[in-house]
């Protein structure tokens, strides 16, 4: 939605493999009266577009969930025009730093990383963006770290990013992590409490996203 809202002169085509998510996205576009974007159901591994169809591609928080991220980038490159550009944004769970530090918090995060690995993804893919994009044949590659730092001076980020985003994401895998025998219930809950403690006065939290831009030669 922000892309369509902030770029009214662009014509945007979004793809979503889930029919339910696609319907939800279409509803949001209609609710905001955004007419410069449309959503199609498609698999990024086999995009239903002709070669050299687009000027730019925007890939965000997608590659980390794929078994074959390099193949997805090859497909993105196929549909870009010569000279077309791509922006890729991914996170890296290995970059999570916080105070007060707590071993149980790291163990809870490691559970999410391991479950994602078993599903074929990579929660630490941010550090691999340049070699992945380079292997897909792009040039003019530039990767920029984008750290999010939170302390007592940013209470809105403490609530929005630490509690509602990162800690909530880790908390959501509680049952699968316990079922996989990766951690005990008590230890997992201890870890989540420790993560949420970093959002309180005296706590700090830092996480790094990576933004890559490149061009199809």
Handedness of CA 159, 61, 110, 153 (dihedral sign): negative
Centre a 10 Å sphere on the Cβ of residue 139 and count the other Cβ atoms it contains.
Answer: 10
For the chain, percent of residues with pLDDT exceeding 90:
82
Query: Considering the domain boundaries, does residue 102 fall inside one?
Result: yes
The DSSP secondary structure of 88-127, one letter per residue, reads EEEE-GGG-EEES--HHHHHHHHHHHHHHHHTT--TTGGG
Query: Considering the domain boundaries, does residue 17 fall inside one?
Result: no
Structure tokens at 47: 């995009």
- Token pair 């959503």 is found at 39
Query: Considering the domain boundaries, does residue 3 fall inside one?
Result: no
Render pLDDT for 155-170 as a digit per residue (tens, 0 to 9). Answer: 999 999 999 999 999 9
What mean pLDDT is reported for the chain? 95
Contact 39, 15 (CB under 8 A): yes
Q: What is the Rg, in whole angstroms, of the alpha carbon atoms belonging to the chain?
A: 19
Query: Considering the domain boundaries, does residue 183 fall inside one?
Result: yes
Mean pLDDT of 28-46: 88
Render pLDDT for 95-112 as a digit per residue (tens, 0 to 9). Answer: 999 999 999 999 999 999
Distance CA 211, CA 217 (A): 20
Contact 162, 199 (CB under 8 A): yes
* Number of domains present in the structure of the chain: 1
pLDDT(34) > 90 = no
Looking at residue 128, the DSSP 8-state letter turns out to be G
Q: By residue range, what is the domain housing residue 135?
A: 43-216
CA proximity to 186, closest of 197, 170, 174: 174
Residue 6: predicted pLDDT: 81
pLDDT(1) > 80 = no
Query: Considering the domain boundaries, does residue 90 fall inside one?
Result: yes
Weakest-pLDDT range from 18-32, 44-58, 197-211: 18-32
Classify residue 2 as exposed, middle or buried by CB count within 10 Å of its CB (0-12, 13-18, 19+): exposed
Residue 210: predicted pLDDT: 98
Mean pLDDT of 23-32: 85
CATH number where 152 lies: 3.40.50
pTM of the model: 0.92
Higher pLDDT, 121 or 13: 121
Render pLDDT for 130-150 as a digit per residue (tens, 0 to 9). Answer: 999 999 999 999 999 999 999
Structure tokens at 158: 């403490």
Query: Considering the domain boundaries, does residue 192 fall inside one?
Result: yes
Query: Considering the domain boundaries, does residue 167 fall inside one?
Result: yes
Query: Considering the domain boundaries, does residue 36 fall inside one?
Result: no
Residue 3: predicted pLDDT: 83
Q: Where are the alpha helices (DSSP H) in the chain?
A: 2-6, 19-31, 69-79, 103-118, 129-135, 155-157, 168-171, 174-179, 185-197
């Amino acid at each position: 939605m922000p892309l369509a809202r902030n770029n009214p002169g662009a014509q945007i085509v979004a793809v979503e493999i889930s029919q339910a998510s696609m319907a939800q996205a279409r509803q949001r576009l209609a609710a905001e009266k955004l007419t410069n974007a449309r959503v199609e159901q498609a698999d990024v591994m086999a995009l239903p577009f002709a070669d050299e169809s687009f000027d730019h591609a925007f890939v965000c928080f997608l590659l980390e969930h794929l078994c074959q991220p390099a193949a997805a980038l090859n497909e993105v490159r196929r549909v870009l025009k010569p000279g077309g550009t791509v922006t890729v944004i991914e996170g890296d769970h290995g970059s999570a730093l916080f105070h007060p530090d707590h071993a149980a918090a790291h163990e809870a995060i490691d559970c999410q990383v391991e479950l994602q690995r078993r599903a074929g993804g990579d929660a630490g893919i941010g550090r691999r963006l340049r070699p992945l994009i380079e292997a897909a044949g792009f040039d003019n590659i530039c990767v920029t770290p984008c750290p999010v730092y939170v302390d007592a001076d940013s209470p809105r980020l403490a609530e929005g990013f630490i509690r509602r985003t990162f800690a909530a994401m880790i908390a959501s895998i509680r049952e699968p992590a316990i079922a996989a025998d990766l951690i005990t219930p008590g230890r997992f809950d201890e870890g989540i409490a420790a993560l949420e403690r970093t959002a309180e006065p005296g706590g700090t939290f830092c996480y790094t996203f990576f933004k890559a831009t490149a061009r199809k030669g």
